Amino acid sequence: MGESTERSEPADRQAFERIEAQIEERDNWARRRRKGIPTDKQLLVVACMDERIPVEEALGLSLGDAHIFRNAGGKVTSDVIRSAALSTNFFDTTEIIVINHTDCGMMSAPDDAVVEGLEATAGGDLQDVDLHPALSNLDIGDASIADWVWMTDDVDEACHAQVDYLRDHPLVPDEVTVHGYIYEVESDALRRPGERVAEQINTRVSEQ
Ligand code: ZN
């Protein structure tokens, strides 16, 4: 009764062909890395771990569309570089989007308070703490633990900086496009860094 008129596949496709297609589709999903199939949108998203950011919904992503890396602040740490290098060089990712956000927890405390809290947990100086479980020689050199924790002063500036870090990094190919956006928890909207949708204060200094 006209029910099949919207189907794109020919009605006379043989049963074994449909089954073969299903098997192929399943295999392409299950073994896509080994088969060299990229994410559906050839996209890597770097975002803050904050529970209020609906990353997939905000970007219109479905399962299979993108690699997604979330950490405290949505900062380009060494492991983001590592992940971006692998994603772009070996899994055909051609685009990176960084999502930072307003009211980020990384703006919610002074450096000293964060360092003191971590020192209390470690029971002493953090310079002797392994920062990588398998690479005990990997350290932060002359940098401070506060540098390593990397609190945020201003999300808009931070977003610009993360984009630049990825664009300029020698392990990320030049042809990869990198863009950054701010997710406003107040308005549930994405915006470009430096532009505001909601009227609110989003700098660390102003909040103190
Ligand atoms: Zn955050």
In this prediction, residue 62 carries a pLDDT of 98
Give residue 77's pLDDT band: very low, low, confident or very high (50, 70, 90): very high
Instruction: Kindly give the residue spans of alpha helices, DSSP state H, lying in the chain.
Output: 15-30, 55-59, 78-90, 111-122, 145-149, 155-168, 204-207
Is-contact 156 202, C-beta < 8 A? Answer: yes
Ligand 1 centroid from CA 46, angstroms: 12
In angstroms, what is the span from residue 182 Cα to ligand 1's centroid?
11
Q: How far is the CA of 133 from the centre of ligand 1 (A)?
A: 25
Beta bridge partners of 182: 100, 191
Cα-to-chain-centroid distance, residue 109: 23
Confidence of residue 2 (pLDDT cuts 50, 70, 90): very low
Q: Give pLDDT tens digits for 94-147.
A: 999 999 999 999 999 999 999 999 999 999 888 888 888 899 888 888 888 999
Q: Give the C-alpha separation, 205 to 152, whole Å.
A: 10
Q: Which domains does the chain have, with CATH numbers?
A: 40-109+151-201 (3.40.1050.10)
Dump pLDDT digits (tens) for 10-47: 678 899 999 999 999 999 999 999 999 999 999 999 99
Mark out the alpha helices in 60-180 (DSSP H runs): 78-90, 111-122, 145-149, 155-168
pLDDT confidence of residue 142:
87
From ligand 1's centre to the CA of 113, what distance in Å? 17
For the chain, the C-alpha Rg in angstroms (whole number) is 22
Torsion of CA 4, 10, 16, 17, to 10 degrees: -130
Q: Give per-residue pLDDT as tens, 182-198.
A: 999 999 999 999 887 76
Q: At what angle do helices 155-168 and 78-90 cross, to 10 degrees?
A: 50
CA of 8 to the centre of ligand 1 (A): 44
Q: Does the pLDDT value for residue 3 go beyond 90?
A: no
| Separation CA 196–CA 112 (nearest Å) | 30
